Structure 1
């Protein structure tokens, strides 16, 4: 019987999905038991009290959020300790981490492709995952020549609300509009959404808002609903179970990181708008978004607006930074990728549904864009196949 002590916040979508992946592993691999220790025990018992309880219970592993205080005492237990939401690292422990800079780059590329010139980031002060997301976002923006604005604060809870919301409100008002705003996670995104609503700042017309974690309750509770970056969280939880099993089997406690990487963007109403000044290009973009899976090409688009083919191509590239052809192709590839992850449909069936003429062409374009074939992409990232990838 493997015993795991859990000291994490169950109210967040991230933690619940992490535990779901862990439980999926335990159902397939022997007998496991969990002890859920409420978060307030950190204050009630302190480090020593929790250490003594874990030792007395003979825990085989600990998964904990430990934002404050010292955790060094737990290395004496000589068991795997996984830390989530940490501020500082210690080589004695393992960490739930991820491609944070890659998540920032993904957000920036999404907004850049939509024609924005002004970009903002709202972060959680002092946390590595927030800092690295901001760094990846900023670097990509600087490459494109965009303007970057940054704000960070502690978590905005009921006690901190009065002071923090005044500072955040002032910052949001001062930002140039329209602007693309990337929040470090969905909790910060919904705070921004609420402040904008109270202060008559329009989303997405003035601020296009994107979060991280795809907490469906939070994202759909907001008005407008919030777009968010989906992370491969269940896979991380499954991998934690596998690593714990290995450590117990080999009787050798070594620290390592569990990486939880971005998968794709779940688009909702908060990012509906493109930042485009030319009304004809705006009309073309809206048409492409609704028809890219059909016979959509430059020739058919010239029938929509009073522009020649050459003029359309020139003005489109000025506004979006890419050709009409590449824009349509990118829409099809992203749609293709999302269906690979979210469905079990045949690859060729998905290719035709995404607007490609043949499966062969779709695979060629997909590999060029993603660096792997559609089947390889599905094997690595589709939730229905993620356990096979860990075996």
Structure 2
């Protein structure tokens, strides 16, 4: 019961993940969007038609399965019964932190968030985003609109007014996190109406990588691939465990997001210092090569010591640390989104050898590249 009439990844991709596991196990899978009614009708006849259920679980489903020996796994983070049922979700706190780190790495120092307060995924992500930027000493302006903001003309107009008032408080350049893909497109439109350039004035990261909304029209929007197919796969695996008589987990199973999908809306370095901005642009274009601090300084025709001092003053870190960070982000995307070998990834992102990449992953992330990939893949 996954509300497949809604063509979102958090519905359709979760379903695709369940089917991958179903095929591996040889199960029979049935779509039943009113399974609580099927259970109730069958129970009166003395038999229940299913051995287990994966659902965006409603209160009614929880009530009607409570006294049945019928395992249910919930995959809806905003479910009113999320604390009562075994559940599998993306780790929205991790994705919120990931979004903040990406915008911080662009040199941004002013931030804003927009989300739907009744959508728990927005709530968790925005809280993590706020915490991440506050750790660096920066504030975040946050606005909330209704979940069904386009349900009626009045809600649409009220939400547009809320967004306008929120944007009125901005000062550029600013990094903006928007909870939904459609909402992200609305903010891009509002920026255009106000004469704000994306990404030069406003760098936007939005939604959960619904490609149709993220990729067109220009500017394309940077997003996070949440890994909803993995959610479906692990939900089916958990259901199998429960159907075999296993104990339910005490807490929801949280899965790391697959990674950032960087597009035009954040393809910018917001640094007032022109020399550092030029250096960051050079690093972004050449991080795949064997470059060091001397190479960056030479490209800008400046003394290495001068550039190093400017980096420490403006970014609070040396040139080498910046190069490593850019390479690390590229490697994370390659590991999460491709099947390429560690050797080829290490070479192409500029680490040179898999061992060098291994050492950096262990030191910065606490996991090996293989473990990182495994966490983000089925």
TM-score normalized by the length of structure 2: 0.88
Please tell me whether the aligned partners of residues 203 and 265 of structure 2 are also in contact (alpha carbons under 8 angstroms).
yes
Counterpart for residue 345 of structure 2: 350
How much is the aligned-residue C-alpha RMSD, in angstroms? 2.6
Asked whether 1:157 is paired with 2:183, we answer: no
Of 175-184 and 50-59, deviating more is: 50-59
* More strand as a share of residues: 1
C-alpha distance in 1 between matches for 2:226 and 2:194: 31
Please tell me whether the aligned partners of residues 183 and 212 of structure 1 are also in contact (alpha carbons under 8 angstroms).
yes
Counterpart for residue 312 of structure 2: 317
Secondary structure of the residue that 2:200 maps to in structure 1?
A: coil
Count of paired positions: 371
Counterpart for residue 243 of structure 2: 248
Of 144-153 and 210-219, deviating more is: 210-219
C-alpha distance in 1 between matches for 2:203 and 2:143: 16
Matches within 5 A, 1:175-190: 175-190=170-185
Please tell me whether the aligned partners of residues 115 and 321 of structure 1 are also in contact (alpha carbons under 8 angstroms).
no
C-alpha distance in 2 between matches for 1:253 and 1:172: 45
In the TM superposition, what is the alpha-carbon distance from 1:55 to its structure 2 partner? 4.8
For structure 1, which runs of at least 5 residues remain unmatched after alignment? Answer: 42-46, 387-391
Secondary structure of the residue that 2:244 maps to in structure 1?
A: helix
Counterparts in 2 of 1:227 and 1:363: CA distance versus 1, 3 Å: same
Counterpart for residue 13 of structure 1: 9
Please tell me whether the aligned partners of residues 208 and 273 of structure 1 are also in contact (alpha carbons under 8 angstroms).
yes
C-alpha distance in 1 between matches for 2:56 and 2:344: 43
Counterparts in 2 of 1:54 and 1:147: CA distance versus 1, 3 Å: farther
Q: 1:284 aligns with which of 279, 287, 290?
A: 279
In the TM superposition, what is the alpha-carbon distance from 1:53 to its structure 2 partner? 5.1
Counterpart for residue 267 of structure 1: 262
Asked whether 1:58 is paired with 2:27, we answer: no
C-alpha distance in 2 between matches for 1:70 and 1:305: 64
Counterpart for residue 127 of structure 1: 119
In the TM superposition, what is the alpha-carbon distance from 1:69 to its structure 2 partner? 7.9
Secondary structure of the residue that 1:294 maps to in structure 2?
A: coil
Matches within 5 A, 1:55-94: 55=43, 58-65=49-56, 72-81=63-72, 82-86=74-78, 88-89=80-81, 91-94=83-86
Q: 1:236 aligns with which of 222, 228, 231?
A: 231
In the TM superposition, what is the alpha-carbon distance from 1:120 to its structure 2 partner? 1.0
In the TM superposition, what is the alpha-carbon distance from 1:298 to its structure 2 partner? 1.5
Q: 1:375 aligns with which of 358, 370, 375?
A: 370
In the TM superposition, what is the alpha-carbon distance from 1:68 to its structure 2 partner? 8.3
Asked whether 1:334 is paired with 2:329, we answer: yes
Asked whether 1:136 is paired with 2:128, we answer: yes
Please tell me whether the aligned partners of residues 67 and 85 of structure 1 are also in contact (alpha carbons under 8 angstroms).
no
Q: 1:26 aligns with which of 1, 22, 26?
A: 22
Please tell me whether the aligned partners of residues 224 and 269 of structure 1 are also in contact (alpha carbons under 8 angstroms).
yes
Counterparts in 2 of 1:200 and 1:34: CA distance versus 1, 3 Å: farther
Q: Deviations over 1:16-65 (max 9, x none)?
A: 1111110000111123121242xxx7xxxxx9756635757623333443
In the TM superposition, what is the alpha-carbon distance from 1:210 to its structure 2 partner? 0.6
Counterparts in 2 of 1:149 and 1:350: CA distance versus 1, 3 Å: same
Please tell me whether the aligned partners of residues 17 and 233 of structure 2 are also in contact (alpha carbons under 8 angstroms).
yes
In the TM superposition, what is the alpha-carbon distance from 1:6 to its structure 2 partner? 3.9
Counterparts in 2 of 1:200 and 1:92: CA distance versus 1, 3 Å: same
For structure 2, which runs of at least 5 residues remain unmatched after alignment? Answer: none
Please tell me whether the aligned partners of residues 7 and 36 of structure 1 are also in contact (alpha carbons under 8 angstroms).
no
TM-score normalized by the length of structure 1: 0.86
Counterparts in 2 of 1:212 and 1:321: CA distance versus 1, 3 Å: farther
Q: Deviations over 1:294-344 (max 9, x none)?
A: 132211222233532122112123332321101111111222222223333
Secondary structure of the residue that 1:270 maps to in structure 2?
A: helix
Q: Deviations over 1:223-249 (max 9, x none)?
A: 311101122222211111112222223
C-alpha distance in 2 between matches for 1:218 and 1:371: 34
